[in-house]
Amino acid sequence: MTETIARAIDRSHMQVSDEVAIQIVQMNKWYGTFHVLRDINMTVNRGERIVICGPSGSGKSTLIRCINRLEEHQAGQIVVDGTELTSDLKNIDKVRSEVGMVFQHFNLFPHLTILENCTLAPIWVRKTPKKEAEEIAMHYLRKVKIPEQANKYPGQLSGGQQQRVAIARSLCMKPRIMLFDEPTSALDPEMIKEVLDTMIELAEEGMTMLCVTHEMGFAQAVANRVIFMDQGQIVEQNEPREFFNNPKSERTKLFLSQILGH
Amino acid sequence: MSDTHAQTVPFVRDTMLPQANPPTTEAGAVRWMRENLLSGPLNVILTLLAIAAIYWVVQGMLPWLLASVWNAGSIAECRQIIADAGRESGACWAVIRERWPQFLFGFYPNHLYWRPVTALLLLFVALAPVLFSKAPRQLLWFSAIYPGLAFWLLWGGSVFVPVVALLGLALGWAAFHFGQRISPLAGVVAAILLPVLWWLFLAGPVAEDLGNLLPRSMPWWMEEVRSDKFGGFVLALTIGVSGIALSLPLGIVLALGRQSDMFLIKSLSVCFIEFIRGVPLITLLFTASLLLNYFLPPGTTFDIILRVIIMVTLFAAAYIAEVIRGGLAALPRGQYEAADALGLDYFRAQRLIILPQALKISIPGIVSTFIGMFKDTTLVVFVGLLDPLKGITDAVRASPDWKGIYWEPYIFVGAIFFIFNFSMSRYSMYLERKLKTDHR
C-alpha cells in the first residue's frame, strides 16, 4: 500500500533524540498459563517512530497495551518517561495521562458530542478550565480536519472521521508518546488514507509513536524502526529499508512474502 | 430517461435518477388498512375476531357505565335509583363522591388535607429539574431540601427534626469536600462516618433542645400527625416516592459492587442482592413490622412507615442492581479501556463514561422496577397499614351504607394507579428518545 502515501514527507522535525522515552527490560506476561510476551527488551528514544508488525496472536497489541498498563505484566520492568509501571495507581494514572492511545475500534464515547469527547479528559484529569479545553479541542479538531463536526455525535460520523476524532481526543491531553493499536484495521479502504495522513502529520512534528499496523507503506515512509514479533517475542528489528529489502530471519521473510505477495 | 435501451453490456449512466413519489395506492389510509388490517385471509379473520371482542366488552360495560349514579347516600339508595330508571344494573359512583377523601388521605385529619396536597404539588416542583433538563438549574436546591420539607409537611411536629437530619447530609458533603484535599479515600470515609455519627448521637438531642427553645407555633411547629393516620394514596405515594428516590442510588452502588474486583465488596453485594431477591416482599415487610421489634432495644419506637420504606427500598434496590448490571455488561470493553487510557480514575470513569451509558440502556428495566414497586406498596396492608386498594376499600365496604359495593372502589383505585404508572412509562419513553445519540 505504498501508493497511499504519495506526498513527500517532511522529515525536518523527525529527529530522534538520545533521551529515552520508554524502556522495557526483560518483560514477561502471561494470560493465565499462556505465555503471551516473552523476554521483551526494548528502548524507545524520544522522537522515534516505531512500527510493530507480526501475525495475529503474536502479542503485538498486548505489548503496546502493557505500555499504558491496560494490561498488567508479571515480570520485568517497564519505565515510561521515567515512571516505572507498578501496581501503584498514582504512577499508572500519571503514565496514562502522558501517553495517548488510539484503538482499532475508535472507542469514542457515544453519549458525548465530538467536542465533549475531546474536552472530557483535559477538564477532569488536567483540570483545564472548560473554555480553554474547548479551544484546545477545536485546535486539534482543525488539525485532523473535522472542526465542523464538533457538535455531532460519534454515531453520525464515518469510520475514518471517528478515528481522526479519536486521535484528536488523545492529542488534547498533550501526550508525549502516542500508541496506535491497529488504527486502520477496522476502516474501509477509502478511509484508511485520511487516518494515515493524520498520523504522518503527527510524525512530521516529532511525536514519539508506537504503531501496531499492517500498513507497510506507512512503515516504509514514516518509521525509523520496524519491529517484527511472533509467538510473543521480538524476532527481528531493523530500520525499514533493510527490514523490507533484506530481512534476516526466515520467519520474517515468510511473513513479508505473505503480506506483500500480491 | 435514456437508460431504457441499456441492455447492452457496456453501460454508462449519463443522468442520475431523481427521487420519485410512490404510487397512490401505496400511501395513506388505504395502504395502512390493507397492510395492517387486511393483508391476508388470516389477518382478515383476526381483524373480525378483534372487532367482535371489542364489541362484546363494550356492550357489556356501556349500559352499566351509562346508568351511573353520582348522587346517593348509600348503596340501597343507589340501587333504588337505578331500578326506578328501569335499568338492570348500573355503576354507583356515589361511593367515590362521598368517600374520595378517605381513598386519597386515609384517616389523615380533615383540616390538615392541605399539607399532603402541598407536599404533592411541591414534589412536582422538586422533580422538574431532576427530570427535565430545560427546567432552571437553581431549582435543584429546592429538590435537595424537598425530602425534609415533605417530611415536615406530612408528619408535622418540630421543624428541627428534618432540618437536623438534612444538616447531617450537608455535613457529609462538607466532609467529602475537605477530605478530598487529603486523599480521595479520606473524603469518602469522612463523608460516610460524620453524618452517621451525627445522626446517631447528636441529631436527636440537638433537635429536641432547639424544639424546646422555641414556641410551639407555626414557623417552628406544626400539628403532629401520627403514622397510623396515614392511608390511601398519601401512604402509597409516601412509600412509593421515597422508595424510588432511595433505591436508585443504592441499586447503582450494589451493581458497581457486584462488578468490583475487590472480593469482599463483590461477595457482600452478591449476597445482599441474591438474598433480597430470593425472599418475597411480604417476608421483608413482616420482618419490618414484627421481628425488628425483638432486635431493637425495648422501648425504642421506630416508625412503622419508616421501617416499611427501608424494606421496600432494599427490595427494589436489589432488582435495580441487577437491571443496571445488565446495562453495564452491555457496554463494550473498549469504553472502559478508552476511559482508562485517558487517565480517568475509577470514580470519574464510572460517573462520566460508564454509568451514563449503562443507565441509559437500563431505563426500561429501571422504570419497570419502579412501577412494580409502586404497585407493591399495596402489600403494606399485611402489616396493618391502610393501603388504598385493600385497606381503604375494606374500610369503606365495612360501613353499613356501602356494604356490598364491589367494582366501583377498585376501578377508582386502579385508575389512579394507572395514571401514575402510565405517566412513569411515558416519561421513560421520552427519556429514551431524548438520550438516543448513537444513531444506530
| Of B32-36, B208-212, B328-332, highest mean pLDDT | B328-332
* Cα of B98 to nearest chain A Cα, Å: 52
Q: Which residues contact B394 (CB under 8 A, 6 or more apart)?
A: none
CATH (domain of A235): 3.40.50.300
CB A228 within 8 A of CB A255: yes
Q: Which of B152, B173, B314, B306 is CA-nearest to residue B246? A: B314
Cα A53 to Cα A228, A229, B236, B269, B270, distances in angstroms: 5, 6, 65, 44, 43
% of chain B residues with pLDDT over 70: 95
Q: Does residue B162 share a domain with residue B237?
A: no
Mutation to test the A interface, candidates B342, B352, B354, B357, most A Cβ within 10 Å: B342
A242 occurs within a structural domain = yes
**Whole-angstrom distance, CA of residue B352 vs CA of residue B345:** 11
pLDDT beyond 80 at B214: no
Which domain covers residue A229, as residue numbers? 20-261
| Residues of chain A contacting residue B337, judged by C-beta atoms under 8 Å apart | 70, 103, 107
Chain B: residue nearest A117 by CA? Answer: B353
Q: Does residue B62 share a domain with residue B199?
A: no
Which domain covers residue B65, as residue numbers? 35-85
Chain A: residue nearest B434 by CA? Answer: A111
pLDDT beyond 80 at B9: no
Angle, alpha carbons B391-B277-B264 (nearest 5°): 135
* Cα of B135 to nearest chain A Cα, Å: 21
- Positions in chain A whose pLDDT score sits under 70: 1-8, 12, 261-262
* Overall domain count for chain B: 3
| Residues of chain B contacting residue A105, judged by C-beta atoms under 8 Å apart | 332, 334
**Cβ of B342 and A169 within 8 Å?**
yes
Chain B: residue nearest A120 by CA? Answer: B352
The angle that helices A189-204 and A159-171 make with each other, rounded to 10 degrees, is 20
**B337 closest CB neighbour out of A97, A99, A103:** A103
Report which of residues B200 and B431 the model is more confident about: B431
Residue-level length of chain B: 440
B4 occurs within a structural domain = no
Q: Does residue B244 share a domain with residue B187?
A: no
A249 occurs within a structural domain = yes
CB B254 within 8 A of CB B272: yes
Chain B: residue nearest A154 by CA? Answer: B438
pLDDT beyond 60 at B2: no
Q: What is the DSSP string of A164-181?
A: HHHHHHHHTT--SEEEEE
How much is the ipTM here?
Answer: 0.90
**Whole-angstrom distance, CA of residue A121 vs CA of residue B343:** 7
B136 occurs within a structural domain = no
**Cβ of A153 and B437 within 8 Å?**
yes
**Cβ of A173 and B437 within 8 Å?**
no
Q: Write out the H or E segment, with its range, that includes residue A103.
A: none
Q: Note the pLDDT tens digit of each residue in B216-263.
A: 777 778 888 888 889 899 999 999 999 999 999 999 999 999 998 889
| Of B2-6, B32-36, B316-320, highest mean pLDDT | B316-320
C-alpha cell at B28: 395513506
Q: Which residues contact B320 (CB under 8 A, 6 or more apart)?
A: B247, B248, B250, B251, B252, B254, B255, B366, B369
Report which of residues B218 and B197 the model is more confident about: B197
Count of C-beta atoms within a 10 Å radius of residue B241: 22
**B343 closest CB neighbour out of A96, A109, A155:** A96
Q: Does residue B164 share a domain with residue B48?
A: no
Q: Is A100 helix (H, G, I), strand (E, B) or coil?
A: strand
CB B388 within 8 A of CB B324: no
CB B154 within 8 A of CB B234: yes
| Residues of chain A contacting residue B345, judged by C-beta atoms under 8 Å apart | 89, 93
Instruction: Give the residue carrying C-alpha cell 378517605.
Output: B102
* Cα of A169 to nearest chain B Cα, Å: 9
Cα A161 to Cα A2, B65, B172, B439, distances in angstroms: 22, 62, 45, 16
B288 occurs within a structural domain = yes
**Cβ of A103 and B360 within 8 Å?**
no
Q: Note the pLDDT tens digit of each residue in B98-155.
A: 889 999 998 899 899 999 999 999 999 998 888 888 888 888 889 988 999 999 999 8
**Cβ of A108 and B338 within 8 Å?**
yes
B213 occurs within a structural domain = yes
A10 occurs within a structural domain = no
Q: Does residue B186 share a domain with residue B229?
A: no
Cα B287 to Cα B308, B384, B423, distances in angstroms: 10, 13, 32
Chain A, 59-88: which have a CB under 8 Å from a chain B CB? 68, 70
C-alpha cell at A18: 538520545
* Band of pLDDT at residue B1, cut at 50, 70 and 90: very low
B349 occurs within a structural domain = yes
- How high is the pLDDT of residue B197? 86
pLDDT beyond 90 at B424: yes
| Residues of chain B contacting residue A96, judged by C-beta atoms under 8 Å apart | 340-343
- How high is the pLDDT of residue A177? 94
Query: Which of B222, B241, B259 is at the close of a domain?
Result: B222
| Of B36-50, B210-224, B409-423, highest mean pLDDT | B409-423
Q: Does residue B236 share a domain with residue B213?
A: no
B266 occurs within a structural domain = yes
A9 occurs within a structural domain = no
The angle that helices A114-124 and A159-171 make with each other, rounded to 10 degrees, is 20
Q: Does residue B385 share a domain with residue B238?
A: yes
A7 occurs within a structural domain = no
pLDDT beyond 80 at B28: no
CB A200 within 8 A of CB A192: no
Q: What is the DSSP string of A20-83?
A: EEEEEEEEEEEETTEEEEEEEEEEEETT-EEEEE-STTSSHHHHHHHHTTSS--SEEEEEETTE
Q: Which of B199, B312, B342, B301 is CA-nearest to residue B248? A: B312
Q: Which of A96, A120, A125, A100 is CA-nearest to residue A110? A: A120
Mean pLDDT to the nearest integer, B17-40: 79
Q: Does residue B163 share a domain with residue B302?
A: no
Q: What is the pTM of this model?
A: 0.85
B245 occurs within a structural domain = yes
**Average predicted confidence (pLDDT) for chain B:** 87
CB A179 within 8 A of CB A99: yes
**Cβ of B341 and A100 within 8 Å?**
yes
Q: Does residue B296 share a domain with residue B334?
A: yes
A233 occurs within a structural domain = yes
- How high is the pLDDT of residue A8? 65
- How high is the pLDDT of residue A182? 92
Q: Does B338 touch chain A (CB under 8 A)?
A: yes
* Band of pLDDT at residue B423, cut at 50, 70 and 90: very high
**A121 closest CB neighbour out of B342, B437, B438:** B342
Q: Does residue B81 share a domain with residue B200?
A: no
**Cβ of B439 and A109 within 8 Å?**
no
Query: Which of B165, B198, B222 is at the close of a domain?
Result: B222
Q: Write out the H or E segment, with its range, that includes residue B6.
A: none
Q: What is the DSSP string of A182-224?
A: STTTTS-HHHHHHHHHHHHHHHHTT-EEEEE---HHHHHHH-S
* Band of pLDDT at residue B300, cut at 50, 70 and 90: low
Query: Which of B179, B194, B222 is at the close of a domain?
Result: B222
As a three-state string, the secondary structure of B329-359 is: HHCCHHHHHHHHHCCCCHHHHHHHHHHHHHH
